[in-house]
Amino acid sequence: MPHGDAELNPLTRTGELAETAYAKVNLALHVRHRRDDGYHALESLFVFAEHGDLLTGQVRPDGMLDLQLDGPFGPLLDAGPDNLVLKAARVLQAYIGEERGAALQLTKFLPVASGIGGGSADAAATLRLLVRLWDVPVEPDVLEGIALSLGSDVPACLSSVTQMVLGRGELLQRLTVGGLERMPMLLVNPGVGISTARIFAGWDQVDRGPLTAGDLDQLVLEGRNDLEAAAVAEAPVIAEVLEALQACPGVRLTRMSGSGATCFGLFATESARASAAEMIRNGHPAWWIAETRIRAA
Per-residue pLDDT tens over the stretch 201-228: 999 999 999 999 989 999 999 999 999 9
For residue 69, give its domain range: 3-174
Are residue 201 and residue 268 in the same domain, yes or no? Answer: yes
Are residue 34 and residue 170 in the same domain, yes or no? Answer: yes
Are residue 7 and residue 154 in the same domain, yes or no? Answer: yes
What is the per-residue pLDDT for 204?
A: 95
Tell me which residues are annotated as active site. 24, 153
Q: Is residue 259 part of a domain?
A: yes
CATH number at residue 277: 3.30.70.890
Residue 142 has pLDDT above 70, yes or no: yes
- Read off the pTM: 0.94
Are residue 271 and residue 152 in the same domain, yes or no? Answer: no
215 beta partners: 178
- Confidence class of residue 6 from pLDDT cuts 50, 70 and 90? very low
Are residue 140 and residue 27 in the same domain, yes or no? Answer: yes
Q: Is residue 265 part of a domain?
A: yes
User: In the listed set 123, 147, 174, which residue is the last one of a domain according to the structure?
Assistant: 174
